[in-house]
Amino acid sequence: MALARAAELVGAVLGGGNLTEAFEHMLATHPGWPDATRGAVRDLAWSTLRDFRRSGVVLDRLLHTPPAPAIHGLLLVALTRLRQRPEQAHTVVDQAVQAALELMPGLKNMVNGVLRNALRQRDQWAAWTEADEEARLGFPRWWIARLRASAGEGWEAALAAGNQRPPMAIRVNTRRTTIDAALAGLEGAGLVVRRLDNDALLLDRPVPVGRLPGFSDGLLSVQDAGAQWAARLLAPLAGERVLDACAAPGGKTAHLLECADVELLALELDSLRAQRVDSNLARLGLTARVQVADCRRVERWWDGRPFDRILADVPCSASGVARRHPDIKWLRRETDIAQFAAQQAEILDALWQTLAPGGTMLYVTCSVFDEENAGQIARFCALHADAERVPVCGEPDLKLLPNAEHDGFYYALLRKQA
């Protein structure tokens, strides 16, 4: 059953769909699924898509043309499973044939034949993978080239980390508890936790949020450790006017409000996503004004009172979080990067007008590509003579590449001359 449902999800992505949306839709149509089923389907679909091209190179040897997305998805899922559980080969093939019967009965024999053929050539898989850069590194060729150019010598480790299951980190709501008390609570619940430099609490392995003591009472949130730099770096002070220009789902909005009593305006373009900001804040006992707006259309939302601090957590390629959203590897095109960069430039230029002289703006992406990061900030500073760079952790900017502790992020801090 898990195989057929995961195949549908992978097939949806092969057809150009969004993985998270497809999964949410599937859960909505199967409300009775136990946690174990949800987890199994998710794990299989996500790991298949994370293994970009590894199963694809095997299929390329066995099929001249790719079949319909659902069956193509099924073959990729089954090959991924065969790599994960070689000792269960016959069970996996039988399950795949059952899944084919359900998805496209006419292709049952083809699925059986391809998988048995693949198994007969299993000792070749490693060599086929090794000979194909995309399969060996698990990312599209253009992505590898860009990361190599942007990240220096850390590029290969960043790709390897980007193929792993992501870590899980906790943010403590310091309005309701202390870091020490939260740490003790997590350890008391049998979890192994490490406190990082920015007070993010890193779990040794992901757990369902239901296992986090105090989650429903708003003591804790799940937020990647890399994302927990934003509020620290922007460092708002009590009484300041703060703009969070691209806010949903509201992780950083909440963190800013946990740090200081500020007057915060949270803007979000997508009205459905804006509701998630409201619900996150409600769980944590925090308040802000949440407004659905395009932050670039300043004349539509700004009352003319300048902000002391602005968080610009802009839309981006999300190349730093691909292990959480592995459909990105399959769906992004290299030409998308210039489009994101153009959109980011518009956002930065628009928001700058609303920043008070002497105020600071934090630019954030979860991208690992220079064009969206340091290149974007260099462009901005060249155009705005009143912008000065503020060092971040002693460096011009903070470039976090994905690793075992955090996802990939970019941070740059700008001050408007007084």
Ligand X SMILES: C[S@@+](CC[C@H](N)C(=O)[O-])C[C@H]1O[C@@H](n2cnc3c(N)ncnc32)[C@H](O)[C@@H]1O
Feature table: binding site for S-adenosyl-L-methionine = 246-252, 268, 294, 313
Residue selected from 246, 290, 321, 362 as contacting ligand X according to rule CB under 6 A: 246
Nearest distance from C-beta of residue 246 to ligand X, angstroms: 3
CB of 96 or CB of 310, closer to ligand X: 310
Cβ partners under 8 Å of residue 244, min gap 6: 252, 253, 256, 264, 265, 266, 267, 288, 311, 313
Binding segment (CB under 6 A) for ligand X, from list 24-32, 140-148, 248-256, 386-394 = 248-256
Select 278 or 294, whichever has its Cβ closest to ligand X: 294
Known binding site: residues?
A: 246-252, 268, 294, 313
CA angle 363, 369, 371 (to 5 degrees): 70
Residue 103 in the binding site for ligand X (CB under 6 A) = no
Phi, psi (deg, nearest 5) at residue 410: -130, 135
Phi, psi of 38 (to 5 degrees): -55, -45
Q: Distance between CA 21 and CA 42 in Å, rounded?
A: 12
- Which residue among 259, 295, 316, 366 is the active-site one? 366
E strands of 114-219, at which residues?
169-172, 193-195, 201-203
Question: H or E stretch including 267?
Answer: strand 263-268
| Rounded Cα distance, 310 and 306, in Å | 10
Question: Least distance from C-beta 327 to ligand X, angstroms?
Answer: 16
- Does residue number 372 form part of the binding site for ligand X (CB under 6 A)? no
- Is 259 marked active-site? no
Using CB under 6 A as the binding rule, whether residue 247 contacts ligand X is answered as: yes
Q: Please report whether residue 21 would count as binding ligand X according to CB under 6 A.
A: no
User: In the bound complex, what is the minimum distance in angstroms from residue 290's beta carbon to ligand X?
Assistant: 11
Positions in 261-320 near ligand X (CB under 6 A) = 267-270, 273, 294-296, 313, 315
Contacting ligand X (CB under 6 A), which of 140, 251, 359, 402?
251
Cα atoms in the Cβ-side hemisphere of radius 13 Å centred on 7: 29
Q: What is the DSSP letter of 212?
A: S
Partners of residue 243 on adjacent β-strands: 265, 310
210 to 229, contacts with ligand X by CB under 6 A?
227
Interacting residues with ligand X (CB under 6 A)? 227, 246-252, 267-270, 273, 294-296, 313, 315, 347
